[in-house]
Structure formats: C-alpha cells, structure tokens
Amino acid sequence: MNAHHDWRRDTRKPAVVLPALSCDCAVHVFDPARVDLLLPGRRYEPPVAWLDELRTLHARLGVQRAVLVQPSVYGSDHAVLLSALRADPACYRGVALLDDSVSDAACEELQAAGVRSARFNILSRFGAAFDSTAFCRQVRRAEALGWSVSLHATAAELAQHARLLLDLRTEVVVDHLAYLTAADLDGEGLRFLREAVARGNWWVKVSRVDHRFAPPYDGALALIRRVIQLHPGRMLWATDWPHPLYDVATTTMPNDADLVELFARAVPDAAVREQILVHNPARVFGFPDA
C-alpha cells in the first residue's frame, strides 16, 4: 500500500476572486472515524481530509459548491459519502461507484442524498480489464436514475472504446482532461475529445494537470486552453483535493490556490470562467443555477 503524501494545509487566498456559487467538481473526503470501512489491499492510505478541512479549504479559495467523488479506498460502500452529502445538501452533490454489489435500494438512497453521477475506472493501470458488458449494464442503471456517467481513463483508452462510448445517450463526464499531455495536442486523444464534446452530451473536467506539470504550471496553459476551446460550454473544473495517489518523486503537491490561479490564467474571460465554474456544474450535477 502506498502512503498518501499529505496535502498542503497552508492554502493561501488566491489572487483571483471566483464568481459566486463556484463549484469544485471533484473532491474526496475521508472520515477518520470510519477507518473500519477502508478496504484491505487498498492502493493508498488516506489522509485526514474530512468536512472541516474541506470547508476551510473552500472558504479560503472562494468556492461555495462541491462534487464529492467516492474514493476507491471505500470500494462500493458509500456510508462516508452519504454522511458527507447529508451534511450540506444545498452545496454538495456526489459521484458514486456503481457495480452489481450496489442494490437498487442503495441507489435510491444515494439519489436522495445528492448523488448525480456514477464513476467508472477504465484506467488500465488500475489493473482491471475493461468489461464492456458489465459497463453497459451499470450505465443503464445510472441512466434510469438520471445520473451522468463519469469516466476515469486516458484519452487513448477512451479512443480505444470510441464506438461504444460515443453511442452513450446519457450525460458523460471525462475526468482529469483524460490525462492529456502537451504531446497529445495534435494526437488521437484530442481528436476523440473534439468529437465527443460535439455530440452534445459530453463534458470534460479540467483537473489533475498538477500531476503532469510543475508549479507555477506554465506548461499546462496551452493544454488547458486548447481543450477548453473545443467547447467552453462543455467544460468543468476541479481541484481533485486532497490529491490522492500523488507521486511526490516526480511532481510537487500543489497549494490549491495555485490551481485556482492557473485556471484563471488559462481562462482570462470572466464570463467564460463563470460558465465553467457555475452554470455548467449546475446543469450536470443538479444545482440550482445562478
């Protein structure tokens, strides 16, 4: 098991002011009182990152809404996620991990608590082969609940399954810019994303670039701008706090204010920033729009 390198607790106030009702579309919370729910053989040991820490972080950043993503260390036991969502139903929405172990009754409970998406790990480096039959079965369940489908995969892996994925009719969210790098700007991965967002039901989450670039992240600007230019109306933004599975041997744990400022530099138009931070998340995750 990998130790989780602790997130930066000295979060500073960003130089940019975010619009009211800005949403951080991917954070993870870990309840220190529920270590009994952690999976044996989990890929990392989670940090202390519960609701008090999340609220303090977001107050400093100027974020009022958040999407809480079920951490893999809890598997499909959503007790911690449910507790967190119920703590602030006006400001939090959730993303669940959906498989056959999650009953229809459990899905209804998740829906009532604010879950609005089901996440699927397609990343080959997570070890499990992609099972298209199981995936389609769970997508049908998510669609019946009115949930979007969140895909955790590289752009190349998405392109590999393009025929299946591009036929999805529900809303689809691509996590973490599909792990694109600067070298991918003229490659198959960006071409796939261009085709996907043109379908009208696909969204791309601008996040986790700090894993691939060093502060102050100047090298990430061209990549972020290129992807957002595909369709600003189909983009989301997230910190991915508290930055699980961070490789400090090759990258530097970010001060989350740096990520806010990076987004502002990549999107200098205030109206476009508001679209991505406020209106797009409201549409995808069911918040009241501003």
Convert the pLDDT of each residue in 200-238 to its tens digit. 999 999 999 998 898 999 999 999 999 999 999 999 999
- Position 59 in a domain: yes
Residue 25: its pLDDT value, please?
98
Average pLDDT for residues 180-190, to the nearest whole number? 86
Q: Which amino acid does the sequence have at 159?
A: A
- Position 164 in a domain: yes
Residue 268: its pLDDT value, please?
97
- Non-local CB neighbours of 80 within 8 Å, separated by 6+ positions: 29, 30, 31, 34, 37, 71, 74
Task: Write out pLDDT tens, residues 117-136.
Answer: 999 998 877 667 899 999 99
Task: Write out pLDDT tens, residues 247-269.
Answer: 777 778 999 999 999 999 999 99
pLDDT confidence bin for 290, thresholds 50/70/90: low
Residue 183: its pLDDT value, please?
82
Q: Which amino acid does the sequence have at 63?
A: V
- Position 88 in a domain: yes
- Non-local CB neighbours of 180 within 8 Å, separated by 6+ positions: 155, 189, 190, 193, 223, 227
pLDDT confidence bin for 286, thresholds 50/70/90: very high
Average pLDDT of the chain to the nearest whole number? 94
Token pair belonging to 83: 């507790």
For CA atoms 38, 43, 47, 50, give the dihedral sign: negative
Token pair belonging to 277: 């931070």
- Position 290 in a domain: no
User: Where is pLDDT greater, at 20 or 187?
Assistant: 20
| Closest C-alpha among 83, 92, 89, 103 to residue 34 | 83
Residue 4: its pLDDT value, please?
56
Which CATH number do you get for residue 38?
3.20.20.140
DSSP per-residue string spanning 235-260? EEE---TT-SS--TTTS-PPPHHHHH
Spatial contact of 123 and 154, defined as CB atoms under 8 Å apart: yes
Residue 187: its pLDDT value, please?
84
User: Domain count of the chain?
Assistant: 1
pLDDT confidence bin for 181, thresholds 50/70/90: confident
* Residue 35 structural domain: 2-285
Residue 252: its pLDDT value, please?
85
Residue 3: its pLDDT value, please?
54
- Position 215 in a domain: yes
Per the DSSP assignment, residues forming a β-bridge with 173 are 150, 203
- Position 80 in a domain: yes
Q: Where are the alpha helices (DSSP H) in the chain?
A: 51-61, 79-87, 104-113, 132-144, 155-160, 162-165, 188-198, 221-228, 256-266, 270-274, 280-285
Task: Write out pLDDT tens, residues 42-67.
Answer: 988 999 999 999 999 999 999 999 99
Residue 2 has pLDDT above 60, yes or no: no
Residue 247: its pLDDT value, please?
74
- Angle (CA) 262-265-267 rounded to 5° is 110
